[in-house]
Amino acid sequence: MAESNVYIDVKPSEQLHPGTDQVICFSGIAFGSLTESIPSKLKDYKATKTSLKGFFADELFKAIETGDLKLYARSFIGNMNGTLANWSIETWNQVVSKLDVNVEESKSGKYFEYEGERFNLPLAMGLAAYTNILVNMGLDFGNIATVSNSKIDKLNFCLDNVPGASKAGMGLMEQISKLNPDLVQLWKENMADGMKFQIANLGKWMDVDGKWKHVRYNPTLKLVDWIAASCLANYYPGQILEESKNITKSDLKSIQSIWNILEERKLARAILLDDPKFITLIKEHEAKKSSEKRD
């Protein structure tokens, strides 16, 4: 049997600010020919000069169009004051009394201290939301792996340097997943057919020459950053335009084209967490679980 990596990134960041009307896009990519076909000078989307964003977007589009760059992509998009905030609050309510955390209140806000590190409220909420996203990513990519390559029985989720960039940050997410009964059950369902999962915060990686490099030089994580930006540009173009104020309409269209061609070829799918249809599915699932518990 074999294992494969799933590279995951979040835009604009892992922090959740329910008081804003911004959205967060969690994107993951896996399978196919990745590193070899990524433009060698590609930088993170945000680190790329505004004047060059259209150029690199066109390069990625061409690589996908010709088949040189092959991948599957999934994105989960939600309003910071919507489903993600609800998931985060519900998750914290279920686990905070079981976690070995100190909750501090100060003039600058609320903080959670875990394993010697302090997490402000937006980051703590964001990490709780992230744990909910990962279990859903597990379901989607587990299904894709089964269909695309029956030999894959393990998926490694490589997270792009979770803030707090730390062992403590990953440890906190792991404990939240283990202590929340809903997440525990969902992971069991994901592994019911024998698929195994490992989640890691990618701080360093080894290149083809066997040299260890910082995560910011990893070409696949640069690629997933662009995939997240392209998905966000399609569904919430105003947020991308706000981030890159001088971007042209032509460049925006180029950025959108990356996600468009993946969707057209059924290689990508976006799950809109605040879509009424999705919310109805969640409520039906929760009702079913409640009924099963009563029985």
In this prediction, residue 282 carries a pLDDT of 77
CB count within 10 Å of CB 277 equals 8
Nearest to 140 by CA among 280, 268, 9, 11: 268
Contact 284, 87 (CB under 8 A): no
In this prediction, residue 284 carries a pLDDT of 76
Nearest to 271 by CA among 114, 141, 119, 104: 141
In this prediction, residue 134 carries a pLDDT of 95
Residue 257: domain span: 2-294
Q: Is the pLDDT of residue 273 over 60?
A: yes
Q: Per-residue b/e over 12-36, b at no fewer than 16 CB within 10 Å?
A: bebbbbbeeeebbbbbbbbbeebee
Residue with the bigger pLDDT between 295 and 242: it is 242
Contact 203, 215 (CB under 8 A): yes
For residue range 209-218, what is the model confidence (pLDDT) as tens digits?
Answer: 566 566 667 7
In this prediction, residue 81 carries a pLDDT of 94
The Cα diameter of the chain in Å comes to: 61
DSSP bridge pairs for 154: 3, 196
In this prediction, residue 201 carries a pLDDT of 79
For residue range 197-210, what is the model confidence (pLDDT) as tens digits?
Answer: 998 877 665 555 56
Edge to edge, what strands does the sheet with 72-79 contain?
A: 196-202, 152-160, 2-11, 23-30, 72-79, 268-272
For residue range 147-193, what is the model confidence (pLDDT) as tens digits?
Answer: 877 788 999 998 876 655 467 888 889 999 999 999 999 999 999 88
In this prediction, residue 128 carries a pLDDT of 94
The number of distinct structural domains making up the chain is 1
For residue range 216-254, what is the model confidence (pLDDT) as tens digits?
Answer: 677 888 999 999 999 999 999 999 998 887 899 999 999
For residue range 93-134, what is the model confidence (pLDDT) as tens digits?
Answer: 999 889 888 888 888 888 888 888 889 999 999 999 999 999
In this prediction, residue 215 carries a pLDDT of 64
